[in-house]
């Protein structure tokens, strides 16, 4: 009997494709966000309101994943931005290859923002890197406050939690303070923004977060390019 | 990998583990794979029982049978392959 160490990620092929995507999106300075939440958390409505609120001339695009139908792509396409549906035909998550395939033919280098709406699911999408800059978890007030405790993986990996549908708070027993406490118990540094796609509440804060995150990425890209140019310059001397 | 493997994400993960075993085994003629170790974190989004079930379902009728899966549970978000135990095939 011999023992051979393999020592690599189980999803190494997905990781390889995701890193390729991340590199190419870094070169173009495109901020890519992967939205994950339960079915019915309001991810599509949130993105609809986001697209409607973006400053004119913003170069944004959306990939939206579902098991079946093109309904979400049709909804999102009304705002004048490029949108593609990824129909997974039963798969419970998007993977990096699906994203790569559905970006084909788009001038990704011209994009400032790429929104990826994952399949409605708080578990499986957590395992798959899509080459995004950040995961955003969407939790609605129609769910339990203890979702962060029940599904800690995604709340731990997400940079931002959108607490969605807050216009319904007068009608549901949801306690936002408790949800925030649970989310921070899992991930103390997570950003949390409360929003309502119906009333537009919280979208000023969300757009400010988006702007700041895009600017941070842009600075990183410029620094990386300057460092790369400096090294290239050093090498040519 | 077809649609069937990807429908349940533990099935996709099990198939990825078997792909890795087959690739590694190709480097060791005269041996069969006895056990593959994986390290899974509690935040990895993987259900251990589902993965075990899917792994056994895929292995059962494959040339890799009776390959065993050894799961080491961790605290983080790891989803990593560990060691592969190989047994010499009797001549």
The CATH number of the domain holding residue B75 is 3.30.2320.50
Taking contacts as CB-CB distances below 8 angstroms, the residues of chain A near B25 are none
Please state, in angstroms and rounded to a whole number, the distance separating the CA atoms of residues A74 and A83: 8
Q: What is the pLDDT of residues A10-61, one digit of tens each?
A: 999 999 999 999 999 999 999 999 999 999 999 999 999 999 999 999 999 9
| Strands A83-87, A134-140: pairing kind | unpaired
**Reported confidence tier of residue B4, pLDDT bands at 50, 70, 90:** very low
Q: Chain A residues with CB inside 8 Å of B43's CB?
A: 126, 152-153, 156-157
| C-alpha distance from A3 to closest chain B C-alpha (Å) | 4
Point out the least confidently predicted range of A122-136, A219-233, B25-39, B70-84.
A219-233
Average pLDDT over residues A185-202: 98
Assess B22–A contact: CB distance below 8 Å, yes or no.
no
User: Distance (Å) from the C-alpha of residue B71 to the closest C-alpha of chain A?
Assistant: 12
ipTM of the shown complex: 0.83
Partners of residue B73 in chain A, C-beta under 8 Å: none
What phi and psi values does residue A204 have, to the nearest 5 degrees? Answer: -65, -45
B72 interface with A at CB cutoff 8 Å: no
More confident residue, A229 or A17: A17
Nearest by Cα to A73 from A52, A98, A47: A47
Residue B7 burial (C-beta neighbours within 10 Å; 0-12, 13-18, 19+): middle
Determine contact: B8 vs chain A, CB below 8 A.
yes
CB distance A4–B24 less than 8 Å? Answer: yes
Query: Best mutation site among A1, A4, A5, A68 for testing chain B: the one with the most B CBs within 10 Å?
Result: A4
The pLDDT tens digits for B61-88 are: 899 999 999 999 999 989 999 999 999 9
For B27, the closest chain A residue by CA position comes to A4
- Residue A196: the pLDDT is 98
Q: Closest CB to A90: pick one of B3, B13, B87.
A: B3
Q: What is the arithmetic mean of pLDDT over A162-175? A: 98
Residues A117-129: tens digit of each pLDDT: 999 999 999 999 9
**Residue A237 predicted with pLDDT over 90:** no
**Nearest CA to CA, how far is B66 from chain A (Å)?**
15
B11: domain range?
A: 3-88
Mean pLDDT of chain B: 90
Cα distance between residue B24 and residue B35, in whole Å: 12
Q: What is the pLDDT of residue A7?
A: 86
**Contacts B33 to A, Cβ<8 Å:** none
Residue A109 has pLDDT above 90, yes or no: no
User: Looking at domain A12-204, which of 3.40.50.300, 1.20.1630.10, 2.60.40.10, 3.40.140.10 is its CATH number?
Assistant: 3.40.50.300
| Element (DSSP H or E) covering residue B82 | strand B79-88
CB B64 within 8 A of CB B33: yes
Chain A CA closest to residue B89: A1
Q: Which residue has the tokens 């991340």?
A: A22
Residue A91's pLDDT is 84
Express as a percent the part of chain A with pLDDT over 90: 84
Distance (Å, whole) CA B10 – CA A60: 33
Q: Given a cut of 90, is residue A162 above it in pLDDT?
A: yes
* Nearest by CB: A93 against B9, B44, B80: B9
Token match 């087959």: residue?
Answer: B22
The domain segmentation of chain A, as residue ranges, is: 12-204
């Amino acid at each position: 009997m011999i023992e051979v160490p393999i020592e690599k990620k189980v999803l190494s092929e997905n990781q390889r494709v995701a890193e390729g995507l991340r590199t190419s999106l870094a070169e173009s300075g495109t901020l890519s966000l992967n939205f994950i939440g339960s079915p019915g958390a309001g991810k599509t409505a949130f993105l609809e309101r986001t697209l409607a609120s973006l400053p004119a001339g913003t170069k944004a695009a959306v990939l939206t994943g579902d098991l079946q139908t093109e309904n979400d792509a049709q909804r999102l396409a009304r705002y004048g931005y490029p949108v593609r549906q990824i129909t997974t035909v039963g798969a419970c998550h998007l993977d990096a290859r699906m994203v790569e395939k559905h970006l084909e033919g788009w001038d990704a280098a011209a994009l400032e923002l790429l929104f990826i709406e994952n399949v409605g699911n708080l578990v499986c999408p957590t395992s798959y890197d899509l080459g995004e800059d950040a995961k955003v978890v969407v939790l609605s007030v129609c769910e339990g406050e203890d979702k962060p405790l029940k599904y800690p993986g995604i709340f731990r990996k997400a940079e931002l939690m959108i607490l969605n549908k807050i216009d319904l708070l007068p009608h549901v027993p949801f306690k936002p303070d408790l949800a925030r406490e649970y989310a921070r118990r899992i991930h103390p540094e997570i950003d949390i923004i409360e929003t309502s796609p119906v009333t537009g509440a919280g979208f000023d804060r969300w757009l400010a977060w988006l702007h700041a995150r895009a600017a941070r990425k842009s600075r990183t890209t410029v620094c990386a390019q300057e460092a790369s140019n400096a090294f290239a310059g050093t090498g040519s001397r | 990998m077809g649609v069937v493997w990807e429908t349940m994400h533990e099935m996709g993960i099990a198939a990825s583990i078997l792909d890795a075993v087959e690739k590694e085994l190709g480097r060791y003629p005269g041996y069969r794979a006895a056990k593959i170790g994986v390290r899974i974190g509690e935040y990895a989004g993987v259900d251990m029982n589902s993965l075990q079930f899917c792994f056994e379902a895929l292995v059962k009728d494959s040339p890799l049978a009776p390959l065993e899966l050894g799961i080491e549970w961790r605290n983080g978000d790891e989803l990593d392959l560990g060691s592969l135990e190989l047994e010499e095939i009797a001549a």
